[in-house]
């Protein structure tokens, strides 16, 4: 008993000292993390996670399509990732008669698996620190341009040991203070094996997105195929299932509060070492600008989607992607405030300043950094705001401009490369547009156009507006925006008929025709304004900031030698670890770390597009037959769970792994209160959300009837 209490106290004190922050490089785990991980309950060694000499966990992890993560879960190349990562592939096989998104899809044998041209998975064979080679001959007197070209030259000159079918890439870390080399293997015959219906894979959709409690079965399954000698090959009927160096055993025992978990994957981008003026700019300028603009277009889309089911279907994908960033930024600003990120940055900077003041050398090297940041961020504020307005209005907001941009590009192709190049591209564009207009409604885009242009002209400084319409008076501006919207849509470029007619012309005729369009002229005016009055200053400031950030990062590491630094995410393979645990989002509210199928039923709204439940799932729930997938303690069906693993966009599809290296979950999201973890991680409210692997297998087996796939997997019981 004494021993138990002691180990409890130990576990508690450790769990309090654990900061939770960090996305670590697999090859440095031994030096930096192994001891802490083991003290938290991990029973593996760093070598079990990353090894170049023997199969290790890393051999089961893939960069999925370049935007998500996936993991190998069978000796025959089965890959698990999120539903929202496989979404495009599932969608591409869906037709109105055979809607795989809606109904789900389960290949009942290998012959039924569906190829996906363009989709690939990338393995990391080996990672090496090449900082010395890459920075050879580089010094602090160089301009940033000189520095970059010296770095590029060194990278090109690297001699990398690898076999033919492998590739490599070199990436900067710590803002260009270190460089690592990655030898990779890319497989491009990746076939769809299964996906649940959206009512499971996207249950709760945008309402539940970024939130806890969550009940989404966000998974899909693929299989990697290789040539008969197991090396990468383009799709071929002769290819065979890939045999991995490692595949993850699957634990049916689940996790409970306090259990060690690690998440292994490819987080995209974090900015953990920004100076305070940068954080302030995000909170005061960047996030509010984006949030405001997106709120406006979302409101228009929502109105039409609620009024008509066909419209709802057409716009679901677009709405989800606009809403995903929008909701994340709202949570981000709020979380930065709630955890006093700015106050903490200021504290750090005060300490930084006092430490460098103590040394003439440090003072002369780094004394200017913080004041220079202050100045550059202040200079850049109007430009960054303008850039966001242009981007959110003309690139992401009003769809008409996406169409127009492509048409203008096509004309450039004709002018630069001639008739044949034009004809080829025109053909590709035609098929793109045939798809695009399937999910497009002019009436929605027109209204978005009017609303966003109004916002653009009312809120952006006059000197950043394209000449054409400057109206001081709100009433006149309204009128002018209405008239402008009418003019923009009058030529019917925003219809498939209009686009087809244009693309049927030869290059010369096409160029002449689009030159006459009002929308093209307006779009070119917008681009000219951006190029002449915004981008030059923005680019110069941003380049200056980037250079300062490199030096600041170096300075932080020198000035705080007692701290262990992890490099910001950059879409390379990282390990993050923590505990399965809930949190307290606000006063008097506690979130439990596990959700169950009961919660799906509590959220069930018949006929609702976000919260409908499939009759078969209801039946399974009512029968309570969860087989070997039921929770061994409660007998219930677990659905999702929370952990304090520091993840980011790109970690979707990453495996959640237990203390012994078994798969226990599938990462897919973070909690709303903690989305500021990209900028300022705080263990009190930052949590990642995972699907419980037992729910994945239950859906696959009992719901999908694809239990034969479970036979391929290695199921284990580490707790019993």
Active-site amino acid positions: 84, 218, 652
Per-residue binding letters, 606-645, with ligand ASP (x by CB under 6 A)? ----------------------------------------
Compute the distance between CA of residue 400 and CA of residue 520 in angstroms, rounded to an integer: 10
Residue 447 interacts with ligand ARG (CB under 6 A)?
no
d(CA 351, CA 38): 32
57-67 residues labelled b (16+ CB within 10 A) or e (exposed): bbbbbbbbbee
Decide if 329 contacts 429 (C-beta within 8 A): no
Token output for 310 = 């066909």
If you write DSSP's letter for every residue of 26-90 in order, what string do you get? GGGHHHHTHHHHHHTT--S-HHHHS-SSS--GGGGEEEETTTEEEEE-STT-EEEE-HHHHHHHH
- Tally Cβ neighbours within 10 Å of residue 15: 18
> Which of 40, 90, 101, 205 is close enough to bind ligand ARG by CB under 6 A?
205
C-alpha to C-alpha distances, 63 to 5, 120, 650, nearest whole angstrom: 43, 8, 9
How buried is 588 (Cβ within 10 angstroms: 0-12 exposed, 13-18 middle, 19+ buried)? exposed
Give the residue, chosen from 244, 650, 665, 674, that forms a contact with ligand ASP under the rule CB under 6 A. 650
Report the partner that residue 582 touches, choosing among ligand ASP, ligand ARG, none (CB closer than 5 to 8 A by kind).
none
Q: Which of 33, 652, 654, 667 binds ligand ARG (CB under 6 A)?
A: 652
Residue closer to ligand ARG (CB basis): 154 or 654: 654
The rounded distance, in Å, linking the Cα atoms of 524 and 528 is 6
Asked whether position 649 contacts ligand ARG by CB under 6 A, the answer is: yes
Which range touches ligand ARG (CB under 6 A), out of 166-174, 204-212, 219-227, 231-239?
204-212
Residue 650's binding partner out of ligand ARG, ligand ASP, none, with CB under 5 to 8 Å set by partner kind:
ligand ASP
Contacts of 92 (CB under 8 A, 6+ apart): 116
Q: Among 94, 186, 231, 324, which residue interacts with ligand ARG (rule: CB under 6 A)? A: 324
- Shortest distance, position 688 Cβ to ligand ASP, whole Å: 6
Residue at token pair 């990278």: 155
Distance in Å, CB of 668 to ligand ASP, minimum: 6
In angstroms, give the least distance from the CB of 200 to ligand ASP: 17
Identify the DSSP state of 24. B
220 binds ligand ASP (CB under 6 A): no
Closest residue to ligand ARG, Cβ-based?
320
User: How is residue 311 written in tokens?
Assistant: 């419209």
- Binding string, residues 669-688; x marks residues near ligand ASP by CB under 6 A: xx------------------
- Distance between CA atoms of residues 327 and 83, nearest Å: 20
Q: What contacts 247, CB < 8 A, 6 or more positions away?
A: 60, 72, 73, 74, 75, 78, 714
CB of 615 to ligand ARG, least distance (A): 23
DSSP one-letter code for 397: I
- Least separation in angstroms between residue 350's CB and ligand ARG is 34
CB of 297 to ligand ARG, least distance (A): 15
Cα–Cα distance between 563 and 541 in angstroms, integer? 30
Out of 188, 648, 657, 713, the residue judged to bind ligand ASP by CB under 6 A: 648
Which of the ranges 201-209, 239-247, 296-304, 472-480 carries the binding residues for ligand ARG, by CB under 6 A? 201-209
Interacting span for ligand ARG (CB under 6 A) from 202-210, 486-494, 636-644, 703-711: 202-210
Smallest gap from Cβ 320 to ligand ARG, in A, equals: 4
Distance between CA atoms of residues 542 and 535, nearest Å: 10
Residue pair 298/682 in contact by the 8 Å Cβ criterion: no
Q: Which is nearer to ligand ARG, 69 or 209 (CB)?
A: 209
Residue 648 interaction partner, one of ligand ARG, ligand ASP, none, beta carbon < 5-8 Å per kind: ligand ASP
Q: How far is the CB of 692 from ligand ASP (least distance, A)?
A: 17
Burial of 139 (0-12, 13-18, 19+ CB in 10 A): exposed
Which residue lies nearer to ligand ARG by CB, 325 or 544?
325
The single residue among 113, 253, 445, 669 that binds ligand ARG, judged by CB under 6 A, is: 669
Judged by CB, which is closer to ligand ARG: 320, or 430?
320
Residue 320 site contact among ligand ARG, ligand ASP, none (CB < 5 to 8 Å, cut-off depends on kind): ligand ARG
Classified as helix, coil or strand, 107 is coil
Q: Of 65, 69, 95, nearest to 80 (Cα)? A: 69
Structural contact between residues 248 and 663, judged by C-beta atoms closer than 8 angstroms:
yes
With CB under 6 A, what is the number of residues at the site for ligand ARG? 10
Site for ligand ARG in 252-291 (CB under 6 A): none
Span from 54-62, 270-278, 630-638, 646-654 in contact with ligand ASP (CB under 6 A): 646-654
Q: Find the binding residues for ligand ARG in span 79-108 (CB under 6 A).
A: 84
Binding stretches for ligand ASP (CB under 6 A): 647-652, 668-670
Binding stretches for ligand ARG (CB under 6 A): 84, 205-206, 209-210, 320, 324, 649, 652, 669
């Amino acid at each position: 008993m004494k021993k138990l209490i002691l180990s409890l106290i130990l576990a508690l004190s450790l769990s309090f000292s654990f900061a939770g922050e960090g996305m670590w490089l697999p090859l440095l785990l031994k030096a930096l993390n192994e001891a802490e991980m083991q003290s938290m309950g991990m029973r593996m060694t760093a070598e079990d996670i990353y090894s170049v000499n023997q199969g290790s966990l890393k051999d089961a992890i893939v960069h999925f399509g370049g935007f998500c993560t996936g993991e190998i879960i069978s000796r025959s190349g089965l890959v698990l990732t999120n539903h929202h990562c496989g979404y495009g592939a599932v969608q591409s096989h869906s037709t109105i008669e055979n809607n795989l998104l809606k109904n789900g899809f389960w290949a009942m044998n290998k012959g039924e698996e569906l190829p996906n041209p363009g989709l690939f998975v990338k393995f990391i064979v080996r990672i090496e620190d090449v900082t010395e080679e890459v920075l050879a001959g580089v010094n602090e007197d160089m301009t940033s341009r000189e520095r970059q070209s010296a770095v590029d030259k060194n990278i090109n000159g690297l001699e990398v040991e690898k076999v033919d079918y492998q590739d490599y890439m070199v990436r900067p870390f710590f803002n260009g203070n270190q460089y690592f080399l990655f030898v990779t293997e890319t497989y491009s015959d990746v076939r769809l094996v299964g996906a649940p219906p959206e009512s499971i894979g996207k249950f709760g959709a945008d309402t539940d997105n970024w939130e806890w409690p969550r009940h989404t079965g966000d998974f899909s399954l693929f299989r990697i195929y290789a040539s008969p000698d197991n090396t990468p090959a383009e799709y071929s009927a002769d290819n065979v299932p890939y045999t991995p160096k490692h595949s993850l055993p699957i634990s049916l025992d689940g996790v409970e509060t306090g259990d060690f978990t690690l998440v292994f994957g490819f987080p995209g981008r974090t900015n953990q070492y920004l100076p305070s003026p940068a954080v302030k700019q995000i909170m005061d300028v960047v996030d509010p600008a984006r949030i405001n603009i997106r709120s406006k277009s979302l409101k228009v889309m929502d109105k039409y989607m609620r009024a008509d089911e066909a419209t709802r279907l057409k716009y679901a994908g677009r709405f989800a992607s606009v809403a995903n960033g929008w909701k994340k930024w709202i949570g981000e600003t709020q979380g930065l405030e709630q955890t006093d990120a700015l106050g903490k940055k200021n504290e750090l900077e005060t300490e930084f300043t006092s430490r460098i003041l103590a040394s003439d050398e440090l003072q002369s090297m780094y004394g200017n950094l913080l004041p220079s940041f202050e100045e550059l961020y202040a200079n850049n504020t109007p430009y960054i705001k303008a850039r966001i307005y242009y981007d959110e209005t003309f690139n992401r907001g009003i769809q008409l401009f996406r169409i127009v941009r492509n048409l203008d590009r096509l004309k450039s192709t004709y002018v630069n490369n001639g008739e044949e190049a034009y004809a080829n591209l025109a053909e590709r564009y035609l098929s793109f547009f045939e798809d695009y207009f399937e999910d497009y409604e002019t009436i929605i885009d027109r209204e978005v156009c009017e609303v966003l242009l109004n916002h653009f002209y009312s809120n952006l400084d006059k000197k950043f507006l394209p000449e054409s319409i400057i109206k001081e008076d709100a009433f006149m501006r309204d009128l002018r925006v209405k008239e402008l919207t009418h003019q923009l849509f009058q030529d019917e470029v925003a219809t498939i008929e209009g686009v087809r007619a244009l693309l049927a012309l030869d290059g010369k005729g096409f160029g002449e025709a689009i030159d006459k369009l009002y929308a093209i002229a307006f779009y070119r005016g917008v681009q000219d304004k951006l190029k002449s009055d915004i981008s030059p200053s923005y680019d110069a400031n941003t380049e200056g900031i980037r250079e300062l950030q490199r030096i600041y990062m170096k300075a932080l590491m020198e000035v705080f030698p007692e701290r262990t630094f992890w490099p910001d995410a950059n879409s390379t393979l990282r390990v993050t670890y923590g505990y399965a645990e809930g949190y307290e989002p606000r006063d008097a509210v506690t979130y439990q770390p596990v959700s169950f199928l009961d919660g799906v039923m509590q959220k069930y709204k018949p006929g609702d597009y976000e919260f409908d439940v499939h009759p078969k799932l209801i039946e399974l729930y009512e029968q309570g037959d969860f087989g070997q997938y039921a929770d061994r303690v409660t007998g219930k069906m677990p659905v999702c769970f929370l952990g304090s693993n520091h993840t980011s966009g790109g970690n979707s599809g990453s495996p959640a792994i237990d203390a012994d290296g078994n798969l226990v979950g599938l990462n897919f999201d973070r909690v709303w209160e903690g989305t500021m973890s990209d900028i300022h991680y705080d263990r009190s409210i930052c949590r990642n959300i995972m699907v419980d692997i037992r729910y994945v297998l239950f859906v696959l087996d009992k719901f999908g009837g694809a239990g034969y796939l479970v036979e391929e997997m290695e199921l284990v019981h580490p707790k019993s």
